[in-house]
Structure 1
Amino acid sequence: MSAGVDVEVLGRTRLRVDGAEVAVPPTALAVLARLLLADGEAVTVDELYRDVWEAGPGPVGRADRVSVQKRIVQLRQALSRNTGGGAHRAVVSTEPGPVSAYRLDLPRERVDAHHFRDLVARAQRADAVTEASLLESALTLWRGRPLMAVERLPFARQGIADLCRVRLEARRALLRVNLELGRFPQALHAAEDLAADHPGDGELAATVAELRSRVRSLHRGLLRREFDDPAVSVVIARGDLLTQRDTHLVVGFTDTFDTATDLDIVINQSSLQGQLVSRLYGGDRARLDRDLRVALRGVQPVAKESRTDKRRGKLVRYPLGTVAVLRLPGVRVFGVAYSRMGNDLVARSSVTELAYGLDRLWEALRDHGQLMPVALPLVGSGLARLDGTRHEDLLRMIVESFVAASRRGRFCPALTIVLPQPVLDRIGIPQIAAALAAP
């Protein structure tokens, strides 16, 4: 196949080519959904007409078959316009026989419902850590009511019921495996999600209460502020960001996402970015660069420097506020670009650029954070050259930004700001307490 064709039905039914949605008439989409539910089997033109047009068991006439064939043509034309020719025939193929039949011929990973089922099935045969990862990946594919475009049609009801059953099994399995692994914040999210859909389940309610107590103890910290509107927590912790457990991590980057730490010329080895390479990636900078390329694959660069102008490091520049999500075993690292790497290899930022980067960070957590707690350093206090900005003002800015974003929609139950002892000494506990009271 010459183009990346994807079919999505776990939510709004749509057809995508190379990531862009293709406009398809509603009845043609219904035909596509019927072919998808056949799971690789051919469906005759008569079956398609009876199911999609809700016809009775009587004979299917020539005009009825033409109606079906027109929708097949619409699907193929939509694909042909976006793939430049013949790829559409590999997607919707015609099967020879006394009655015309059609087959949806896509790899299973290009159909979200099939990919969802396969991930859940693989999870059942995996070790605990892999099981959790596979189940998380499967559940992120679920964007809403499955097969919404055809949910009123009888042919879709059993498929919808089966998908919902598999999803419920996956959610319960994710709760179980997170408990086995001692990943209590993740288990709490899974339990709260299930309890919201099953309010009469006393066992689930008890599990939620116990897990909330465990998570509170995990994130008690040096100072803690509980907010009622929204219901989130902000914690100040003393220590090292990269030793935090049961939480996603945030690391600041420049707009070039440089990673080279040799000779401390581009990235200082003692900086958080340098520590990310040496500690979470075991010094394997090539692997970090590969993960960054994957995370940035859908982001349009804004410029590319020449090697003459920028003598070391990476040349491609991304928009400020870009967030690269790095998926490591047991943790996700959200790399947010809030500073510009000058061609003189000096990173510079401003309060405005940091504020914009924080807004984009919260959006990325909403999309990819799975309602997990998140820990971040005092962003802007290191080598990003926010000259003249006091540490307590940065702290207040982070808290205010987080709470304001949470009021627009819940995405994270607890934010932990990790401060090393020298920063704590510089700010002072009274100033930290005042910053937490700011919103």
Structure 2
Amino acid sequence: MKVLGPVQLEVDGVPVRLTPLTVRLLVRLVAAGGDAVPVRQLRRDVWGLADEPRHLDQRNRNEVQKRVLELRRALAPGQDGAGTNILRTEQQVTVQGPETAYRLVLRPEELDSARFTAIVSDALLAPPATAAHRLAEALSLVRGRPLAEVSGEGFAAPFVRRLTALQETARRELVRVQTDLGRPELALPVAELIAYDHPDDAEAARVLDTLRAELRARHGAELLRHRVPLPGQRADVVLLRGDLFDQADCNLVVGFSDTFDTETEEDLVISRESVQSQLVDRLFDGRRRLLDDKLRAGLRKTKAVGTESARSKPLGRRVRYPVGTTVVLPVDGRRVFAIAYSQLGNDLVARSSDRDLRLSLENLWASVAVHGLFKPVAVPLIGSGLARVTDLDRGQLVALIVDSFIDACRRYPALTPELRLVIRPQELARTDLTPVEQRFQDLVLGHGAAD
């Protein structure tokens, strides 16, 4: 039987419908908390009838008996006499003589309010992890105000008041233990309910503000985090405001041109502000030749597609490799994936396209699946720098990178636990992240891929 909200009677898991008066009778007996209720009291509380002389109230007593019989049949359908064990008839001695009374006898597991009380009482004495589990279990039983049909009536007031107070205790204790366990994200929804129900409670408002501040601080530089919504996948996509080379726990992705140039002198071939230049300074201590040696070693098995003459390309490297070539560079126990996603013209201007970038990303993920050591992978906003993919804005570039990663997760189930797309603070104001949110919404809803 469920009374933590609108009354629901179920027998062997099957809902039972009762007439409104019989529902009131049942609720009145539940509110008695296992005590016997005299017929005269039932008439007053359920039917709203004043006491009459005993020789005149036989009809009223018959009405009570009629509803009692209906309730017994509902409680134990098809079991002759079984209903009398649940709804018992007793005789009470009064100054006016013996009087019939009725007592509802239910086991704790048969009444949700009894289960709720027992679980909360147990949880209040338990260690935090056990308490959190038990309190959440207890609160899941609550569907609304106890004895909702009669919560404003005097006979129900003590019962409702006790359960409401216990529910409030359970909610506040759940917020406390979840916070102690370092789970503010689980404490927050409960704290919000408490603050909503008690708008003038300064302590509830303070707790809510503290939880929200803690969660904001936990996100730090994170702009977005979603779990890839594919069966069997536990990979996250994270958008982060920051510096690619501060991601010390990640493999890194660095974009190159098809000639894999690294020369930055006088900014003629590669800009000193480029990611390639930062790679030399941040991970190779400024030793450009060491990076060049690693690139040459990684390119030995890749067939070049052409070689420029010194006359046509007097500066920089002249050997060209296919767009999409990926070179794996081992650095301090992790990997730098150097991908050629643009073509460096003989005029030293890098050019790329949507198609080039898609191909490069496909090859990147294939290489990560083999050489990535199942580490997180940090990627800059490839295509937004000097090798500009002019047919896509920054938000679309983010969506393209994320979309290619999700497609790769279908092909390589153990690709990486996390794609961390790092956006520089100065790029953020010009980057619309709506396409990425829409992509995840489409996936969750089972729609097709976003454009």
The TM-score normalised by the length of structure 2 is 0.49
Match of 1:93 in 2: 88
Match of 1:72 among 68, 73, 76: 68
Number of positions where the alignment pairs a residue of Structure 1 with one of Structure 2: 255
- Please state how far the C-alpha of 1:46 moved relative to its aligned partner: 2.1
In structure 2, do the counterparts of structure 1 residues 45 and 172 end up closer, same or farther at CA, with 3 Å as the change threshold? same
Q: Secondary structure at the match of 2:75?
A: helix
Match of 1:9 in 2: 3
User: Which aligned pairs between 1:420-435 and structure 2 lie closer than 5 A?
Assistant: 421=416, 424=419, 434-435=435-436
- Please state how far the C-alpha of 1:26 moved relative to its aligned partner: 1.0
User: Aligned partners of 1:251 and 1:62: how far apart in 2?
Assistant: 69
User: Aligned partners of 1:125 and 1:85: how far apart in 2?
Assistant: 43
Q: Secondary structure at the match of 1:8?
A: coil
In structure 2, do the counterparts of structure 1 residues 12 and 393 end up closer, same or farther at CA, with 3 Å as the change threshold? farther
- Please state how far the C-alpha of 1:175 moved relative to its aligned partner: 1.7
In structure 2, do the counterparts of structure 1 residues 91 and 420 end up closer, same or farther at CA, with 3 Å as the change threshold? farther
In structure 2, do the counterparts of structure 1 residues 86 and 213 end up closer, same or farther at CA, with 3 Å as the change threshold? same
Q: CA offsets per residue over residues 198-219 of structure 1, 9 Å max, x none? A: 2222332232222112223435
User: Aligned partners of 1:421 and 1:147: how far apart in 2?
Assistant: 52
Say if 2:72 and 2:84, in contact at 8 Å, map to a contact too: yes
In structure 2, do the counterparts of structure 1 residues 91 and 130 end up closer, same or farther at CA, with 3 Å as the change threshold? same
Match of 2:195 in 1: 195
Q: Secondary structure at the match of 1:421?
A: coil
In structure 2, do the counterparts of structure 1 residues 394 and 194 end up closer, same or farther at CA, with 3 Å as the change threshold? farther
User: Aligned partners of 2:134 and 2:418: how far apart in 1?
Assistant: 39
Match of 2:17 in 1: 23
Q: Secondary structure at the match of 1:178?
A: helix
- Please state how far the C-alpha of 1:222 moved relative to its aligned partner: 5.8
User: Which aligned pairs between 1:166-177 and structure 2 lie closer than 5 A?
Assistant: 166-177=166-177
Match of 2:121 in 1: 121
Matched, 1:38 2:32: yes
User: Aligned partners of 2:7 and 2:417: how far apart in 1?
Assistant: 53
Q: Secondary structure at the match of 2:115?
A: helix
RMSD (CA atoms): 3.6
User: Aligned partners of 2:84 and 2:38: how far apart in 1?
Assistant: 17
Give the AA of the match of 1:90.
N
Say if 1:95 and 1:103, in contact at 8 Å, map to a contact too: yes
Match of 1:54 among 48, 51, 56: 48
Q: CA offsets per residue over residues 366-386 of structure 1, 9 Å max, x none? A: xxxxxxxxxxxxxxxxxxxxx
User: Aligned partners of 1:393 and 1:54: how far apart in 2?
Assistant: 70
Identity %, equivalent residues: 36
- Please state how far the C-alpha of 1:220 moved relative to its aligned partner: 5.6
Give the AA of the match of 2:149.
A
In structure 2, do the counterparts of structure 1 residues 142 and 57 end up closer, same or farther at CA, with 3 Å as the change threshold? same
Match of 2:373 in 1: none
Say if 1:191 and 1:208, in contact at 8 Å, map to a contact too: yes
Say if 1:128 and 1:181, in contact at 8 Å, map to a contact too: yes
Say if 1:395 and 1:435, in contact at 8 Å, map to a contact too: no
Say if 2:28 and 2:155, in contact at 8 Å, map to a contact too: yes
5+ residue gaps in structure 2? 93-97, 235-400, 408-412, 424-430, 442-451
In structure 2, do the counterparts of structure 1 residues 206 and 118 end up closer, same or farther at CA, with 3 Å as the change threshold? same
Match of 2:153 in 1: 153
User: Aligned partners of 1:419 and 1:205: how far apart in 2?
Assistant: 44
User: Aligned partners of 1:138 and 1:158: how far apart in 2?
Assistant: 20
In structure 2, do the counterparts of structure 1 residues 151 and 423 end up closer, same or farther at CA, with 3 Å as the change threshold? closer
Say if 1:79 and 1:88, in contact at 8 Å, map to a contact too: yes
Match of 1:130 in 2: 130
In structure 2, do the counterparts of structure 1 residues 217 and 428 end up closer, same or farther at CA, with 3 Å as the change threshold? closer
Q: Secondary structure at the match of 1:162?
A: helix
Give the AA of the match of 1:165.
A
Say if 1:223 and 1:433, in contact at 8 Å, map to a contact too: no
Give the AA of the match of 2:107.
P
In structure 2, do the counterparts of structure 1 residues 54 and 431 end up closer, same or farther at CA, with 3 Å as the change threshold? closer
Give the AA of the match of 2:148.
M
Say if 1:10 and 1:113, in contact at 8 Å, map to a contact too: yes
* Greater Rg over alpha carbons, structure: 2
Q: Secondary structure at the match of 1:100?
A: strand
Say if 1:195 and 1:204, in contact at 8 Å, map to a contact too: yes
- Please state how far the C-alpha of 1:75 moved relative to its aligned partner: 0.7
Give the AA of the match of 2:84.
R
User: Aligned partners of 1:167 and 1:148: how far apart in 2?
Assistant: 15
User: Aligned partners of 1:168 and 1:95: how far apart in 2?
Assistant: 36
Match of 1:392 among 403, 411, 417: 403
Match of 2:204 in 1: 204
Q: CA offsets per residue over residues 31-84 of structure 1, 9 Å max, x none? A: 111111222222222221222122335545222211111111111222343x55
Give the AA of the match of 2:437.
L
Q: CA offsets per residue over residues 370-406 of structure 1, 9 Å max, x none? A: xxxxxxxxxxxxxxxxxxxx9828959xxxxxxxxxx
In structure 2, do the counterparts of structure 1 residues 201 and 39 end up closer, same or farther at CA, with 3 Å as the change threshold? closer
User: Aligned partners of 1:433 and 1:50: how far apart in 2?
Assistant: 62
Give the AA of the match of 1:89.
T
User: Which aligned pairs between 1:223-238 and structure 2 lie closer than 5 A?
Assistant: 223-224=223-224, 235-236=225-226
Q: CA offsets per residue over residues 109-147 of structure 1, 9 Å max, x none? A: 211112212222222222222222222112111101221
